[in-house]
Chain A
């Protein structure tokens, strides 16, 4: 399955919905979207990976690159993922310590608000 990307804003946090496979072929599209969002001054990002069917280290690199960019603006990039086969690559690489990984978009937003003390 090809990669489908969409984004929307919820409570001041940009939600990126990703569906399909993130690999060496499709990852550049996700990278471009993340760069575009940061360039538009969206520094609080949540990447919803609940519909991601495949993720490799190229995709991890794109997510790490996105995290680097938002952190440069004191921002954040959290993930939503409950799929064991996707979570496994985060565990193998130790990136579970780097990303905030949540069970739902609402949980990710709530965690971000709590950390940043944003108004409810």
Chain B
């Protein structure tokens, strides 16, 4: 059973609420203060992505966020209800090579997103940038697509002593 579950209507204004709840629960669960900004940003990215998908495909369906502390890790799962292949996902969570918690200065990522230093700049960022950001923040990220929708699972293992 999740420590805390949040369900919200797919509106951008509620993403902030989800971020605040996630940060509060992470702090309560003993996630290191230095990681709270990462939790906040990653959860916001996942929720923003879900909101945009719901607004395109199923604006009447809620988005679910489950936050779980099992003593070893802090896990956040953001579930949308966008069914089937109409929900665009990067192939096999096709995060650019090199992305991850230790992405460092992202040296290769600018090229990976097709954003050169001095040349043509796309009007908006590719859709998978949000997932790439998440991958750069969480210790582990899993994206699973099922008939009922897509879930983004984010895990932080680095913790201080439990409260």
Contact = CB atoms under 8 A, between A and B. Distances in A.
Interface residues of A, number: 26
Given A56-B44, A92-B132, A93-B132, A25 B112 contact: no
Contacts of A94: 106-113, 115
Contacts of A61: 124-125, 129
Q: Which of A21, A25, A85, A93 has the most CB of B within 10 A?
A: A93
B133 A56 contact: yes
A97 interface: yes
Contacts of B40: 54
Q: Which of A57, A71, A95, A96 has the most CB of B within 10 A?
A: A57
Interface in A18-66: 21, 23-25, 54, 56-58, 60-61, 64-65
A67 interface: yes
What band does the interface of chain B fall in when counting residues whose beta carbon is under 8 Å from A? 35 or more
B115 A64 contact: yes
Contact of B41 (A54, A65, A68, A97): A54
Given A23-B44, A61-B124, A64-B122, A93 B15 contact: no
A116 interface: no
A71 B130 CA distance: 24
A93 B103 CA distance: 9
B15 A23 contact: yes
A70 B157 CA distance: 42
A117 interface: no
Interface stretch (B45-53, B63-71, B86-94, B142-150): B45-53
Interface of A: 21, 23-25, 54, 56-58, 60-61, 64-65, 67-68, 71, 85, 88-89, 91-98
Given A54-B40, A64-B123, A97-B110, 9 more contacts: A23-B15, A61-B125, A85-B37, A92-B103, A93-B132, A94-B106, A94-B107, A94-B108, A94-B115
